[in-house]
Amino acid sequence: MYQVATIAGSTIEINWVTNGGSTKSLYWAGSLEVPQDASQSFAWDSKNDAGKTAGAMLASSEPIKKITYWDGVLSYEASAMGNTVTVELKRV
């Protein structure tokens, strides 16, 4: 199991991916705020789009998720089944 993010305009969606990439389950749908002076790093409080995450079994119910971008890597904390990890996603 791993996560992938899709960024479109001012939104970010993060999915859990399983079964060799054939199954995706929504983890996060929220806002994206890229500052105009963003060069190597920035962080923002992504606001949950509860209209999308409310019915998703594996989605986070947090109202806000702090996401950081630094040197080509998005990072944030994810919790599942009582465990919390820092996830780092890099563009491939």
The pLDDT > 70 percentage for the chain reads 98
Both tokens assigned to 49? 């789009």
Q: What is the pLDDT of residues 54-86, one digit of tens each?
A: 999 999 999 999 999 998 899 999 987 788 999
Q: Which domain holds residue 60?
A: 2-90
Q: How many domains does the chain have?
A: 1
Q: Of 11-15, 36-40, 63-67, give the lowest mean pLDDT range.
A: 36-40
Q: What length does the chain have?
A: 92
Cβ neighbourhood burial of 28 (10 Å; 0-12, 13-18, 19+) = buried
Q: Report d(CA 88, CA 45) in Å as an integer.
A: 16
- pTM, to two decimals: 0.90
